[in-house]
Amino acid sequence: MASNVGKMARSIPEETRTRLFLYLRELRCLQKKGICTIPSQRLAEACHVKSSTVRKDLSYFGEFGVRGVGYEVDGLTNELRSILNLDQIVKVALVGVGNLGKALLGFPGLEDEGFKIVAAFDADERKIGQKIDRVTVEDASRMEERIEAQDIRVAIMAVPASEAPAVAQRLAEANVNAILSFAPCELNIPPDIKISCVDLASEMARLVCCV
């Protein structure tokens, strides 16, 4: 692995980061099919982008291809995993075990890609102690402590919008550095914590809008 992930740093487009994951997903699919080598052209088609885009995206991080041949699937997979910090399983905490939370616990799309919910919290006494998909729901009042003990750095918030800001605050205190929220509202937390907000209503609005 000639990993030159030391070239990195300055201004990688947000879109590039998103695409890198798509490439990785496609590469894993190719691995399963036993394909060893792929040109940018075909990787691009599979991900619905232009081949020059694939090459440019990769070139931000090094030279992974062989001219006249293409990219070695295993090698590039490892490079991308390394770039995206997906070398090992990512431990995730789930806060809020309502319908949405339960759905996330059973959602195969996350675990397949290397994200594993290893702890779940809820404030509702009736839920505490329940075991859902191998994870036992714990008391939300002990959340910070448990997250730190297990060295979890990523959290998914599936709590009502009204609770979201307070929960985010507590997650920040527990030293997580990334939060995925389903509440369409502002979370006033330190800027060094990354937030991603899945805003379903906003997605729906974009779909309906015909402008």
Partner DNA sequence: ATAGGCTTGTGATTGTGATGTCAAGCACTA
Partner DNA sequence: TAGTGCTTGACATCACAATCACAAGCCTAT
Q: Which residues bind its own copies (CB under 8 A)?
A: 8-9, 12, 14, 17-18, 20-22, 24-25, 48, 61, 83-86, 90, 92, 98-100, 102-104, 106-110, 112-113, 115, 154, 160-161, 178-180, 182-184, 186, 194, 196, 198-211
Closest distance to DNA from the beta carbon of 11 (Å): 6
| 16 lies in the site for DNA, by CB under 7 A | yes
Alpha-carbon distance of 128 to 140, in angstroms, equals 9
| 10 lies in the site for DNA, by CB under 7 A | no
Q: How many residues at the interface with DNA, by CB under 7 A? A: 26
Closest distance to its own copies from the beta carbon of 68 (Å): 29
User: Which option in its own copies, DNA, none does residue 129 bind, with CB closer than 5 to 8 A by kind?
Assistant: none
**DSSP annotation string for 25-77:** HHHHHHHHHT--EE-HHHHHHHHTS-HHHHHHHHHTT---EETTTEEEHHHHH
Closest distance to DNA from the beta carbon of 24 (Å): 16
User: Which option in its own copies, DNA, none does residue 40 bind, with CB closer than 5 to 8 A by kind?
Assistant: DNA
Strands 135-139 and 131-132, sheet pairing: antiparallel
| 55 lies in the site for DNA, by CB under 7 A | yes
| 58 lies in the site for DNA, by CB under 7 A | yes
User: Which option in DNA, its own copies, none does residue 200 bind, with CB closer than 5 to 8 A by kind?
Assistant: its own copies
CB atoms within 10 A of CB 42: 17
Strands 131-132 and 115-122, sheet pairing: unpaired
Question: What single DSSP character describes residue 141?
Answer: G
Strand order in 194-197's β-sheet? 131-132, 135-139, 115-122, 90-95, 154-157, 178-181, 194-197
Q: Which residue has the tokens 């949405």?
A: 100
Judged by beta carbon, residue 66 or residue 204, the one nearer DNA is: 66
Q: Do residues 121 and 138 lie in contact, with contact meaning Cβ atoms separated by under 8 Å? A: yes
Give the residue from 90, 105, 192 showing the smallest Cα distance to 150. 90
Judged by beta carbon, residue 72 or residue 113, the one nearer DNA is: 72
Site residues (CB under 7 A) for DNA?
A: 11, 13-16, 39-41, 49-53, 55-56, 58-59, 63-71
